[in-house]
Amino acid sequence: MKSLETAPDAMRALVERTGGLRARQRLLGGDEIACPTLFGLWWPWGDGAKITLRIGSLDLAPMPDVRALFGA
């Protein structure tokens, strides 16, 4: 939440659509030039021993962004 005020509009809208960010949750954004629409939502569970990481893309063709991320 500390840097959300300066995040791109699309990322702030994504946070609103997904119910906001709670303590210890993170929105990780792609590089503005290489992967401007790639994001990850990091949600730790309870004691932090487990996490959920949701990876997505704001555009209609996410596979090239995801493949580039993993070097595929």
Cα–Cα distance for residue pair 13/4, rounded to 1 Å:
10
Give the tens place of pLDDT for each residue, 36-52. 677 888 888 888 789 99
pLDDT at 50: 92
pTM of the predicted model over 0.75 = no
Give backbone dihedrals phi and psi of 46, rounded to 5 degrees, phi first: 30, -100
CA of 72: how far to CAs of 32, 35, 68, in Å?
20, 15, 6
Kindly indicate the confidence band of residue 20, based on its pLDDT and cuts at 50, 70 and 90.
Answer: confident
CA of 60: how far to CAs of 37, 57, 66, in Å?
10, 8, 12
